[in-house]
Amino acid sequence: MADLFQKIKEVTELDSIAGYEQPVRDFLRTKMTPLADHIETDGLGGIFGIKNSRAENAPRVMVAAHMDEVGFMVSHIQTDGTLRAVAIGGWNPLVVSSQRFTLYTRSGRSIPIISGSLPPHFQRNGSHAALPKIEDVIFDAGFNDKKEAESYGLLPGDIIVPQTEAVLTANQKHVISKAWDNRFGVLMVTELLESVKNKELNSTLIAGANVQEEVGLRGAHVSTNLFQPEIFLAVDCSPAGDIYGEQGAIGKGTLLRFYDPGHIMLKNMREFLINTAQEAGINFQYYCAKGGTDAGAAHLKLGGIPSATIGVCARYVHSHQSLYAMDDFLQAQAFLQAIIQKLDRATVDSIKAY
């Protein structure tokens, strides 16, 4: 587990929001180049390693993470030197205040910055302050005024990313970090390619990561049109509901995500996944999701692509600190490897048979 934690620490401490995925793209390019036959990028910056199959009429199978995490983008520099921002991805305003972030300027300079909060002393009559809107949250880097902020290279459009360090919990079973949504998927892809680098597959494997998932599944539209897979597998992290009486419990295995508002898993795909999990002895749990993944965009392309999401859950996603089980990653990785080993022409045709 110590080796796995170090890998998790490496990927989660990268900073990369939608539209600014270069750090994660560079990481993936370095990791995937020796493991794939070649590397390809799409026009928005998605990156994929291609492992060709020698099998006759081999199906094309796409495994896609996404590189971006949630963050903010500077919208205004105020005369007093503080900043206002727009959310890049979904944020609960309650988790934004009084947190540390890193601001990246156009030149790549990193600047420490915090989000402001209203002290109780300034609340009238001791009443509770109203829930802030994201656009009203103050970001403060300690500049005296707008001129000083601009002298350090700040411009509207600069990005603001949560600043945290990945740590192990006391029982050594769980990790606390930012960005497991979706550095989980990034690590899933590199571990998958490592596992099959010396194996012959009966499908052409297209494994990598999309851009801009957190702002509307944008990258998946582009990459599926470019690579034209017959099967699409998103690898993504979902919110855990265990402490709220909902589905998704950390430590209980990978998720069989049969429904979300943008994607209903096809019957044949569901049967294939259940059978594969049971045959491989994978711990899995059924999950009815309230949010979407890149499968929601991909399954509507090219006349329809049977799709699924292979994932895990984490508590407190889309915040500075999420909490998740390392064993769930191992179960999800074993599940993905078992799926890829089984996806030959006959199996893909059976999934697509109506």
Residues that constitute the known binding site for Zn(2+) = 66, 181, 214, 236, 318
Q: Which residues pair with 264 in a beta bridge?
A: 259
d(CA 342, CA 346): 10
Parallel/antiparallel/unpaired status of strands 284-288 and 254-260: parallel
Question: Per the omega criterion (within 30 degrees of 0), is the bond before 182 cis?
Answer: yes
Catalytic residue from among 213, 230, 271, 279: 213
- Residue type (1 letter), 158: D
d(CA 9, CA 29): 18
The radius of gyration of the chain from alpha carbons, rounded to an integer in Å, stands at 21
DSSP designation for 346: H
13 in catalytic set: no
| Amino acid, single-letter form, for residue 234 | A
At residue 158's C-alpha, the angle toward residues 294 and 87, to 5°, is 45
Three-state SS for 332? Answer: helix
d(CA 108, CA 207): 29
Kind and range of the H or E run holding 197: none
- For the annotated binding site, the residues are 66, 181, 214, 236, 318
Distances 11 to 72, 78, 265, 292 between C-alpha atoms, Å: 19, 34, 29, 22
203 HSE (CA, 13 A, CB side): 24
For 341, the 3-state DSSP assignment is helix
- Residue 305 has φ and ψ, to the nearest 5°, of -120, 115
Query: Looking at the annotation, which residues are catalytic?
Result: 213
